[in-house]
Structure 1
């Protein structure tokens, strides 16, 4: 009898993880059959999504409230589909507000094994989430090497399967040369500016980043500024750059075919001398390209006050956490000012190589050079399945 997997993802990052996991399962168990919800990459692996994944790609209270009833109905419908089809395993990928609610409804009425891909960051804040998750999840697939003990302590199986950043293609010299030519950069050194992928982030960070880079450019006129925008916020970024230093280059992925857009992004990351980035997984993308960085983030006042009181860690940058160093400087909250950021950029320009060892160690610890994360995840799922 073939393995039956019900798998669901709620946003593009989950679709990427799901597609790689499905490919791994097909490699190890060719007769596997899939059902569930996913996007284009999961469809490439044979999933016929029960409804469009983008119905679930909603973030923020103001965005969720108008769609609350619809999302609640989709949660119920999905759980009913799982119970009806009785798969060997239910795999939920990230999107905990949707995924864990589905898993709870399934567990209330069955003993179907549940696997959740991407551990909650209980090491950073709200540690009780692990215990709550353990009520409905049997097995966790973790992206970060230090996460399994937290999940296991709460009563779940947990395997570190590697971070997807280690499987991403690296820019070639030809791609970097083509990128420089396409954006008239010649052989000038350039600094990347990455003010986030959400509208709220860009609105808060672009003025601070622009001010910092204006000051940096006065002291270092040889540097160009390159801003690879995320597609959903590219128009907003274009508007925000009006007050930035003259000659700033916007890389808008919407102006190119998908393959060229990805190549330009790879080349921008690999070709930069320095980077100024919003806090988030982008620090790992920069580390993969060995690009030294300053991380900055400006929070709403109330969010910052809550975070200060609840945080369990002294850094938000994954490179610092995974390498167990503090080499990547951070300008967070009230320290996210043009003056403070410019000062850190100045220090980084003077000593850009100090972060390289920590970045290489980060990539090694995330699984670079080993089995692809999707295949490792598939193997972990299969090895933990109960013997029939």
Structure 2
């Protein structure tokens, strides 16, 4: 049996890992898998070395209190790889942890493939030299990433964006009836995100018409915290958990209030007009402003090179501004139609040459083996 070691550090990487396992098994049934994963990979029979919620941290200062624990988990994972001697290691996103892991694996002579290119086009382009010393190939999600890494000598496979395989486009509004205009509220899957964004989102709702129904997405690690904070919204809320239920909610809702990240692309796939919001620690934000090199936070906006989705980042992330931007979307009409046209334009640029993104990724991994 051939062993493949996967390392997914958070919920989005867990989804990628699960689809990759399924696509690899369809092509090479004798493969075995080990490493780090979450609920979705567990559905594929994958057993994780430790719970990946310990790695789901975001921000520069926010990570500091957990550095010792992260270092201990890094040691544990590197030792597990050295003991198992897999044919190949696939690190999935979470570059803060996974690229450090790749550096520890490289001296073992085991090839490393990194799935989801680090965003050197957005900030700290100088990282590419260090990345070139740690990985043997990158599986890129975005079409413009390959030339940036190939210029540094890193082979790249553009595999397309996994959002194209998302259940978000398969929702059925009839399975999720709402008594008024539905507003999808996605505060994130990390405690820091929920703590900073959900109070702002609650104030935003108070500025919207009373008939608007908030529909809150629940992620595994923060589900109970989100439910508890939603009790202070001052109106009945609906909750969704799991990709299929979320897809039905997307289909039934009128608009979305969504933290910056993959959830915004999910909304685009579902054709749901929305606004993007994000806020981090002020010191983290000050550092990021010196490093970030792109105009937009939303991938839809980056792919279209214009603001299709309104963005409210840091000091602009206020209840007043969010409510003003949401009202025309909740009313439908031209504002909503313009966003949907932009979604189609952006998503057309995310497809691989053939097949599904997970299939393209599986082919690239098997080629490395």
Give TM-score, length-normalised by structure 2: 0.87
Q: Deviations over 1:16-74 (max 9, x none)?
A: 2222222222333344344444445445556555x234375352425523524532431
Report if the CA contact (8 A) 2:92-2:114 is conserved.
Answer: yes
Runs of 4+ displaced beyond 6 Å: none
Q: Output aligned runs, 1:233-382, within 5 Å.
A: 233-247=222-236, 249-251=237-239, 253=241, 261-348=242-329, 349=331, 351-367=335-351, 371-382=355-366
| Corresponding residue of 1:159 | 157
Unaligned runs of 5+ in 1: 254-260
Offset, 1:263:
3.0
Choose 288-297 or 13-22, whichever is displaced more.
13-22
CA distance in 1, matches of 2:263, 2:123: 20
Query: How far is the alpha carbon of 1:108 from its aligned partner?
Result: 2.4
TM-score, structure 1 length as denominator?
0.83
Q: 1:78 aligns with which of 80, 102, 125?
A: 80
| Aligned-pair CA distance for 1:235 | 2.8
What number of residue pairs does the alignment pair up? 362
> Is the 2:167–2:244 contact (alpha carbons within 8 Å) kept by the matching residues of 1?
no
Q: Judge conservation of contact 1:163–1:367 (CA < 8 Å) in 2.
A: yes
Q: CA deviation at 1:124?
A: 0.9
Q: Does 1:61 align with 2:63?
A: yes
Among 167, 177, 200, the alignment partner of 2:174 is: 177
Contact kept in structure 1, 2:170 and 2:248, CA below 8 Å? yes
Partner residue, 1:104: 103
Using the TM superposition, give the Cα deviation of residue 8 of structure 1 relative to its aligned residue in structure 2, in angstroms: 2.9
Structure 2 residues not aligned, in runs of 5+? none
Query: For 1:105-140, what per-residue CA distance to the aligned partner results, in whole angstroms no more than 9, with x for missing partners?
Result: 332242x32211111111111112222111011100
Return 8-17 or 135-144, whichever deviates more. 8-17
Pick which of 299-308 and 33-42 moved more.
Answer: 33-42
Does residue 1:32 correspond to 2:31, yes or no?
yes
Q: Which SS does the other structure have where 2:222 is aligned?
A: helix
Deviations 1:73-110 (A, max 9, x none): 3144134225xx3x443222223333223322332242
- 1:144-180 CA deviation, whole Å, 9 max, x = no partner? 222212221221111111222211224667x422321
Distance 2:315 2:43 in 1: 45
Equivalent pair of 1:166/1:368 in contact (CA under 8 Å) = no
In structure 2, how many angstroms separate the alpha carbons of the residues matched to 1:13 and 1:251? 20
1:209-258 residue CA offsets vs partner (Å, 9 max, x unmatched): 222222222xxx543332233243233223333443433x13054xxxxx
